[in-house]
Structure 1
Amino acid sequence: MTPPALADERRMTRTGPPRGAGPAAAPSARRRRFRLLGTITLFLLPALVLFALLVLAPIAVAVYTSAFKWNGLGGLPRNFVGLDNFTRMFGDEVFVGDLRRGALLIALSLVIQLPLALAIAMLLNQRMRGRAVYRLLFFAPYVLSEVITGVLFTMIFSPDAGLANQILGLAGIDGPQWLADPSLVMMTLFLVMTWKYFGFHMILYLAGRQGIPKELGEAAAIDGAGPWKRFRYVTLPLLGPTIRVSVFLSVIGAIQLFDLVWVLTAGGPIHSSETMAVTMFQFGFKRSQIGYASAVSVVMFVISLVFALGYQRFVLRRDTEGAITTMRAQR
């Protein structure tokens, strides 16, 4: 009896190699790869064109015009000034103040706004009557536009007929100038920001919390861990990816904050609530100094880009690597 391996070898000798195994197979495989590449390019091309026109082109124009002294009229800019706009910017007390105020908003968001959103998310994850209603009420401010929010709180913090001062008046307290006091306007602005945005972060944390298996908390409770220890050693570490994304969005939002500030204070009084985006708008559209405004936009973009790349490299690296590994395992 002929062994199977020997029979296969004799059959291969008589019939020759399998079809497609010869030199003609390589061109066929190359044609399939080119066809696949063409299909991918065809589907990606509209998105790439839009990205180039709406993102890359404006960035290039801003970088180009930042090297000129230009009012936006009279055709292309011709008065080349090099880095003078940037030198002027970092010597301007208003812009340096913008950096300080942006850092203050970021610090307050990380220390107050996000912990508050996390605490409320943990509370609303418990069984309670009307839980869905509370979730809706806390998330509803985020749905409102920034313009509506700004107009609403302009009326609430009005020094004469505003609701805030009327409530304080009932307690015999003279209400302050919420939006006109340079020493108070940033805290008032942060209060409005917290009311507007903490519901978004709350929903993020709530979704992350509901993705944690209940068995882990039950196992920790069986081992004798109390509510605080279960939160500290079980819930909080597993919420790490969600918290890191929340921090990233909060910081980027504080760097680019514009519309809420513009509606509430327009950067006043005496620049005490101005941000980089407001300064850019003031010089670009109010004073027609397009070159200087472009320089401000370039600095704001570079700050956001450096933070985003550094944050992804050193903070989100484990999360992205874990997601890629999971996707590969599912293939």
Structure 2
Amino acid sequence: MSAVETDPRAADAARGSTPTLSKAARARRRRGRLEVIGFTGPALLVFVLFVFVPIGYAVVLSLFNGTPTSPIRDFVGFQNFTEIFTTGRGETLGQPWFWHAVRNNFLIAVMSLLIQGPIAIGVALLLNRKMRFRGFFRLMIFVPYVLSEVITGVIFSLMLSPQGAVNDWLTRLGFEQFANFQWLMDTSAAPADAGMFAILGSRTFWAVFAILTWKYVGLAIILFLAGLSGVPEELNEAAAIDGATWWQTQRKITIPLLGPTIRIWAFLSLIGSFQLFDMVWILTGQQPGRTGMHTMATFMVDQGMNRNRVGYGSAIAIVLFVITLIVALLYQRFILSRDIGKES
């Protein structure tokens, strides 16, 4: 009797069952691919339509000198980008107002990290302790973030107007110098030849930044509270047994373990600072240039829509995209890499 007749597996192979198994494996693999395409396809389609297509269209518009009604006309090549970076006369580095807008974005980003971060960490550490009405305090701190930017801007623009509630309260308290005080229309930093850091002496800048802090610090506090919930309580108890004070425990144990959450919040804060538009636009009465408070986004809209320079506004949008992308990549490479791994 041959080996094929005595061995069932050999007999199955001789009868051709192996191709049948291969077909089943290929069918399972095909179904797996179809499942991946079915789940990721719609998301990729939406991403392409609402991210890559607008970016590509903005690149095309930046090569023309069009208007909102005729955006693609009068091909000018890279002239719009040239206008951003040089005037051709050697007087300034392109449009001074654009570089003032870039300065404002970076100043708001840095001030957010230096001021909002410590405030949020301190409040989160306090709210992480056992106390009465802790849930209520957490809710009230998060409420400003839930409000839309438009509602927040309108509320504070009314309160800080010359005849607004803030000036009225201060006047009633005896501070007569605040009668008809201009909180949001300080024009000292508006001229194109104003110093690069003249904006730091503008009360409009600090009023806007205070409102931004009130609006967004609640998100930072909630993120830090979520991070604190992951810190093992046993570490705090062991530190207390060893004689560490509450502050020493927070400084040596809690805050270092909160590092990944702090780095994620800082990344979100940086990107949000570069995208800042609606709050500044509303608080300055849709005229941020009068106070030197342009951001890159408000300058883009002002040039592209209000001044009918769609090509130049699109060029500003491309520059804004490139700056944001470079900052995001550098941050991920040198800061977030310790949390997400260098492979990603």
Pairwise same-fold verdict (TM > 0.5):
yes
Which of 35, 41, 44 is equivalent to 2:40? 44
RMSD: 2.3
Q: Does residue 276 of structure 1 match 2:306? A: no
Which of 135, 140, 148 is equivalent to 2:138? 135
Task: Say if 2:4 and 2:10, in contact at 8 Å, map to a contact too.
Answer: no
What SS class does the counterpart of residue 253 from structure 1 fall into?
helix
What SS class does the counterpart of residue 138 from structure 1 fall into?
helix
Partner of 1:300: 320
Deviation at residue 40 of structure 1 after TM alignment:
1.3
- Residues in 1 aligned to 2:162 and 2:130: alpha-carbon distance in whole angstroms: 41
Partner of 2:75: 80
What residue identity is the alignment partner of 1:94? W
What residue identity is the alignment partner of 2:79? D
Deviation at residue 129 of structure 1 after TM alignment:
2.0
Q: Does residue 178 of structure 1 match 2:183? A: yes
Percent identical pairs in the alignment equals: 45
- Residues in 1 aligned to 2:246 and 2:270: alpha-carbon distance in whole angstroms: 30
Aligned residues: 313
- Residues in 2 aligned to 1:231 and 1:322: alpha-carbon distance in whole angstroms: 29
Which of 53, 58, 69 is equivalent to 2:54? 58
What SS class does the counterpart of residue 67 from structure 1 fall into?
coil
Q: Does residue 261 of structure 1 match 2:280? A: yes
Task: Say if 1:165 and 1:174, in contact at 8 Å, map to a contact too.
Answer: no
Partner of 2:117: 114
TM-score (norm 2): 0.85
Bigger mean CA deviation after superposition, 35-44 or 196-205:
35-44
Q: Does residue 199 of structure 1 match 2:202? A: no
1:99/1:19 Cα in 2 relative to 1: closer, same or farther (>3 Å)? farther
1:23/1:140 Cα in 2 relative to 1: closer, same or farther (>3 Å)? same
Partner of 1:166: 168
Partner of 2:251: 232
Deviations 1:233-291 (A, max 9, x none): 21111111110111011111110100111111024352511111101111122112111
Partner of 1:147: 150
Bigger mean CA deviation after superposition, 123-132 or 236-245:
123-132
Task: Say if 2:98 and 2:296, in contact at 8 Å, map to a contact too.
Answer: yes
- Residues in 2 aligned to 1:250 and 1:267: alpha-carbon distance in whole angstroms: 25
User: Which runs of 4 or more aligned residues in structure 1 lie more than 4 Å from their structure 2 counterparts after TM superposition?
Assistant: 10-13, 17-21
Partner of 1:68: 64
Deviations 1:48-87 (A, max 9, x none): 111111111001101111111111334x624222221112
TM-score (norm 1): 0.88
- Residues in 2 aligned to 1:178 and 1:13: alpha-carbon distance in whole angstroms: 97
- Residues in 2 aligned to 1:239 and 1:197: alpha-carbon distance in whole angstroms: 19
Bigger mean CA deviation after superposition, 55-64 or 130-139:
130-139
What residue identity is the alignment partner of 2:302? Q
What residue identity is the alignment partner of 2:209? F
| Unpaired segments ≥5 residues, structure 2 | 86-93, 188-201
Q: Does residue 97 of structure 1 match 2:100? A: yes
What residue identity is the alignment partner of 1:197? Y
- Residues in 1 aligned to 2:326 and 2:60: alpha-carbon distance in whole angstroms: 20
